[in-house]
Amino acid sequence: MSQAKLLRREKHYSLVLPAVVLLLVCATQAAPLKARAGQQGPIAAPPEHRVTRVVTGPEPEAPPDLPEVEITKRFSLKEDEYILSRTGYTYRKTIRIQEFGPDGQPAGEFVLVTQPGRDVDGKVFEKVIEKPQSTLQHLFLRSEDLEGLQRIPAFPLTSSQLAKYNLKYVGKEQVDEVDCYLFQAKPKMVERAKAYFDGIVWVDAKYLEVVKTYGKWVNDQGTVQTMKDLPFSLFETYREYVDGKYWFPNYSRSDATLNLKGAEIPVRIVIKWTDFKALPGAAPAGAEPAPKISPKPGGAFD
């Protein structure tokens, strides 16, 4: 997978998706196991991206065959650890939104670079560290237009959220060098005030940790758009093995088509998290409760 080149963008962004994932993520009812033209699916990672584990000690034996409920319990507990641990790291986040021309080549882009900061009350926020740059031809974006991205939970399947989902084992697949179990995640019920993850998670078959996700966010009104006036909904997110301990999101991408005044404009968003560095004196995982991000008025994310 890591050797695949970025897929050429066509008018309707038809993408190739393994049949089992397409069936589970995209179909709203039971359907024959086939790929349908025009539907979005997981996107090939860029050539420079790899999902790799750097082992510093002896590798454990592969876990014995475990009940599905035990596997999901174990990876959700590790998600608890990661959501706490990431607050002890700084990083550089680059958001790039691109428009594509009729020839399939980028015709303009907006770039925003941030890093986590804290206000005088200790509340975490995204601090802009480079002046936003834009050559977009059809959209005018400001940094505040992307605030919806900040409210998307990076770790949706923590132990406290697990009971709200139906998780079903659907097979195995290799992500670069990592053998993975695939689980379909669907919310048991939806509501107006909160969005829930609907998609697929890839779980390291040996260490039982989430290394990749693909899906969307839904509430009782359907699919939630993560950003106002932009059509992005399905995101494929890869993780990076940080400090030999944690799997943190480091690459997320979504492709869509923007309908603007009768014209269909292919657009893409890529988010990269780089330069992870532990903060001096950061508390170890479990030392404090996980931070909670409250939804803004009319928002859908916790």
- Stated pTM of the model: 0.74
Residues (pLDDT < 70) of the chain are: 1-64, 281-302
Which residue in 196, 186, 204 sits closest to 60, CA to CA? 204
**Are 210 and 75 a contacting pair, CB within 8 Å?**
yes
Structural contact between residues 201 and 186, judged by C-beta atoms closer than 8 angstroms: no
DSSP annotation of 208: -
Angle, vertex CA 220, rays to CA 219 and CA 223, nearest 5: 45
* pLDDT given for residue 51 in this prediction: 52
Q: What is the pLDDT of residue 108?
A: 95
Cβ-count burial 229-239 (b if 16+ within 10 Å, e if not): ebebbbbbbbb
SS3 143: helix
**pLDDT reported for residue 21:** 43
Q: What is the dihedral of CA 292, 231, 182, 25, to 10 degrees?
A: 120
Residue-level pLDDT at 49: 55
Helices (H), the chain: 19-26, 68-85, 147-150, 159-162
Query: What pLDDT score does 48 carry?
Result: 53
From residue 186, how far is each of 24, 132, 156, 175 by CA, in Å?
A: 10, 36, 11, 22
Indicate left, alpha or beta for 38 from its phi (over 0: left) and psi (-120 to 50: alpha): left
Residues paired with 195 in a beta bridge: none
- The mean pLDDT of the chain is 78
- Return the half-sphere exposure (C-beta side, CA atoms, 13 A cut-off) of residue 171: 10
pLDDT value of residue 50: 54
Residue 125's pLDDT is 79
pLDDT at residue number 2 = 36
Give the pLDDT of residue 63: 61
Of 241, 250, 244, 252, nearest in space to 215 by CA:
252
Cα three-residue angle 288-290-296, rounded to 5 degrees? 135
Residue type, position 153, single letter = P
